Chain A
């Protein structure tokens, strides 16, 4: 069955430290991949997306993600987090053909400590 997995429910990092959020998918063919962020009481905002091409994708707010086909992963990274990065992060996928339903992972809540 098609699925998206975010293994980390909650991550705590210190301000200024590096960050990596994990995402794995299980699909028959490489889907289109996304990372969204949701701040408390807000809707979701797109951080970055991968359709094809260069496997290292740059997004907004200093985030980047690397697509690794061999590992079926699309991990999100940031070299130095800021207190304003505290939020919930969702990995999402949509098949590259057929049903255009966007499927989200369960999310990773990020806490930043001073």
Chain B
């Protein structure tokens, strides 16, 4: 049973606009959350993280929001750039020493 879900397989956004990628989880014990970005024929690369003690973490154009009561996190990219076109995976873990569970990914296309 998928503990981390990304219900939107794909998303298209105009360059300069905001991209919002969503992720839901079912395990209330999850404590750490990550976003990875993946280009074709490459491995995923780490993008941004958040722990459950925070509800927001920002890094440049990328912001991750965590809503623990709704078991939901989202990644905001603003402004979106064509180079952001990739597959984005969210991942969650119960904390140190525990494995990460990955979502199925959302393919983002930023249209110039």
* A, B assembled together: no
Chain A residues within 8 Å of B, Cβ to Cβ: none
* B positions within 8 Å CB-CB of A: none
